[in-house]
Chains A and B, each alone.
Chain A
Amino acid sequence: MENRTETTIESTSPNGEMSPPMYAALPQRAARSFRDILQEQLRYRELLFTLAWRDIRSRYKHSLIGIGWAVFVPVVLMVVFGTVLAKVAIIDTGDIPLPIFIYCGLVPWQFFEQSVIRGTQSLVVNRNLVTKIYFAREVLPFAAILTAGFDFLIASTVLVAMMAWFRIPVTVMVLLLPVVLLIQLVFTAGVVLLFSMTNLFYRDVGQIISVMTRAWFFITPVAYPIRSENLLLRTLNIANPMSPVINSYRDLIIRGQLPDWNSLYPAIAISLVLLVIAWALFHLNEFRFAESI
């Protein structure tokens, strides 16, 4: 209740003249300190959870199988890829059964893809909130990530069941899962912040991402391992943080071994740099959201 705030918004020419200047005034980059931004995030965390809760609840409330959809989609995709891919190509998954190999990649991939798709639209869909009420704008794209994260958790339960079925032992390596998940979250947050903002200004982004996520899927070892000597594919594998992240999930959960740190370092670096740049851009443009949306 007692969060009194003193906000002063200052612009480029503090002593305004009677008549507006003829030149176009520079946009006011009301740069806020990193601490302010973080404090604001904390202040709006309740809103973040409530919005995620709203989206999850309203999505599943009036559907027949409800939460089952979170499981249904990856399971069906697993069956399709498992049967079709095994027919058209030889997939060398080592000693891992193909279904669990695919499912273990699909679940985190779906989390990423859904976060990006929902997150990109999050500002535009909540237009009335953005134009009518003040709150930390990041809440909307972040809530989209949380919403997708809920599906991720539900779908993960099937993975646990599959591991029991295929008698794959759980090792201590599972304790490292939060690290990989954190890398994925950082990367996802960066992508989502960037896309939600650009989509607000240029609606093309919404169209592009549906194609882009599909292409992205194929260059990521989700349904099959990518062990190519092709230079392009190898470069993409390094530049695409989702590749080592998905591989690491398999290492930790199924293979019970340490992830390939050498491939994870670039992923960590890319994710962090992207998040910082995206967040900074988001804040620099935030003040134009309400008038441009």
Chain B
Amino acid sequence: MSECSIIFDHVGKKFRRGERATSIRDLIVNVPRRLTGLSEKRRGGETFWALTDISFKVNKGECFGIVGPNGAGKSTILKLASNILRPNVGKISVSGRVSTLIELGAGFSWELTGYENIIVNGAILGLTRDEVEERRPEIVDFSELDHEALNTPLKYYSSGMFLRLGFSVAVFTKPDILLVDEILAVGDMSFRLKCNEKMSEIRRNGVTIVLVSHDLGLIRHMCDRALALNLGRQIGPDASGTIVDMYQEAVRTEARSKLEARVTGETARVDSPRAKITDVRWYNPETGSASGVRTGHPLVIEVGYSCPAAVVNPSFQIAFADQSLENITGCITKMSGMEIGELRGDGCFRLTIPSVGLAAGCYPLKLTLFDELGQICANSSCEYVLDVRPGKFISGRALFYQAHRWQHLRGVLEDMDFIQECPR
């Protein structure tokens, strides 16, 4: 048992829903109700279980992921583990010094300088003043803020600088257990990479990490095991890859059903009198089946349209979205140098992708037909969801597949000629 850092044993947590008495007037109004015993029933209606029967163990030195949709209770688990909240049922035991990265820059004062706030934030995260002083060079170095910036009151900071400083203090607290809530998406790209690297380093140093994130790639990459939450109930824990796959599958099914519901309401679709997307199909040209769409394999998407009135000089876009319906990548006719003089009557756009770069998963498609002025003539947003199945091997942690070819040559590199063309 000493191997376990965190144990949740049949934990349940109840929250109040709706308005509660926060003024004495309400309290007084509620007194007769309480006295008559009516309140018990009412109270029952006003609360809900944010977590029900959660049991898991996090081993020492392990990186444990928690995934789930918004409101599933992920942060509640972290707050329970850090003793901010207490469970209504069940038992929680935590051994070791806990540091929570639930909010960056907690306790920062706008009037104080960066240096001063390092001390404040460090103290809040449980460091003594000496420890802060000792780690200050590292913190400053990591934050990439210069001396001048750190001598400036925080109120003049950009939000990026603020978060960078907050993260830098937080990662140097050196706890036994680190609870992280969706904060790695901080700052610009290079800083984000640095943060991820730092997290890996912390992990290698044997710190137990519990990571809550919507970034499934990160969970897959960082965590040994993971737990999925849905409406306060747990799925798993299991190997992070398995959980992420399962979760993605669940999300896909749910997105599917949601999308289907939406399609019946015709809300994800814009048709103008000029044009309309009639049909969409996709397949792997090698197998001819939609189920054969796999990472690293070819893909053909065909979109049928019908134009009662002419659309001059249009352009057509197929965009691929992720689970949060944000575009990941897209293909636009105009940008590919394709000129379409005029659309009239029925027709079809065919997009051929020689090698699918998307990792296995489920990608809602956003299809849009623009006219000459860039106005949307017809649009189908997330009505169709492309399933990409695992295909060519991408190292388990990759987010996308690079089309590539390997060669091995003997000799001195300097003597070799450049290759003239890239083989397909």
Contacts and interface: CB of A to CB of B under 8 A. Distances in A.
Contact of A135 (B23, B90, B93, B126): B126
B15 A204 contact: no
A133 B12 contact: no
B373 interface: no
A202 interface: yes
Given A10-B91, A16-B10, A132-B106, A62 B111 contact: yes
B120 A54 contact: yes
Contacts of B88: 11, 20, 25, 28
Nearest to A205: B24
A34 interface: no
B271 interface: no
Contacts of B120: 50-51, 53-54
5 contacts: A13-B89, A50-B120, A53-B120, A54-B120, A290-B79
Interface string B94-112: 1111101011001101111
B100 A134 contact: yes
Interface of B: 9-12, 14-16, 20-25, 27, 40, 43-44, 47, 49, 52-53, 79, 82-98, 100, 102-103, 106-107, 109-112, 116, 119-120, 123-126, 128-129, 131, 153, 174, 176
Contacts of A131: 79, 84
Interface in A58-81: 58-59, 61-62
A9 B92 contact: yes
A47 B52 contact: no
Top 4 A-B pairs, shortest CB-CB distance: A16-B10, A58-B111, A50-B123, A16-B89
A14 interface: yes
A128 B92 CA distance: 24
A32 B119 CA distance: 30
Given A58-B111, A129-B107, 19 more contacts: A6-B95, A7-B83, A8-B92, A11-B86, A11-B91, A14-B90, A16-B12, A18-B52, A20-B14, A24-B43, A25-B89, A46-B129, A51-B123, A54-B109, A58-B110, A131-B79, A132-B106, A133-B82, A287-B86
Given A9-B83, A19-B52, A57-B112, A132 B102 contact: yes
A175 interface: no
A129 B90 contact: no
A39 interface: no
Contacts of A57: 109, 111-112, 116
Chain B contact surface mostly = mixed
Contacts of A21: 89
A22 interface: yes
A131 B119 CA distance: 21
B93 A8 contact: yes
Given A6-B95, A24-B40, A12 B89 contact: yes
B123 A47 contact: yes
B123 A133 contact: no
Contacts of A10: 91
A274 to B, nearest CB: 20
A252 B157 CA distance: 50
A10 B10 CA distance: 11
Contact of B103 (A16, A24, A128): A128
A88 interface: no
A208 to B, nearest CB: 9
Contacts of B27: 202
Given A9-B83, A132-B106, A16 B23 contact: no
Contact of B107 (A46, A61, A126): A126
A13 B15 CA distance: 17
> Which residue, B25, B103, B111, has most C-beta atoms of chain A within 10 A?
B111
A210 to B, nearest CB: 15
Contacts of A22: 44
Interface size class of A (residues with CB under 8 A): 35 or more
Contacts of B123: 46-47, 50-51
A58 B110 CA distance: 8
Interface string A246-271: 00000000000000000000000000
Contacts of B24: 202, 204
Nearest to A15: B10
B100 A61 contact: no
Contacts of B126: 47, 135
Contacts of A161: none
Contacts of A16: 9-12, 53, 89-90
A134 B84 contact: yes
A62 B49 CA distance: 47
Contacts of B10: 15-17
Given A25-B14, A290-B84, A134 B89 contact: no
Contact of B97 (A3, A126, A291): A3
Contacts of A8: 91-93
A5 B97 contact: yes
A204 B119 CA distance: 34
Contact of B85 (A51, A133, A135, A287): A287
Contact of A24 (B44, B83, B110): B44
Contacts of B22: 201-203
A30 interface: yes
Contacts of A23: 40, 44
> Which residue, A3, A18, A46, A202, has most C-beta atoms of chain B within 10 A?
A46
A4 interface: yes
Given A8-B91, A8-B93, A46-B129, A291 B15 contact: yes
Contacts of B90: 11, 14, 16
Nearest to B10: A16
Contacts of A7: 83, 93-95
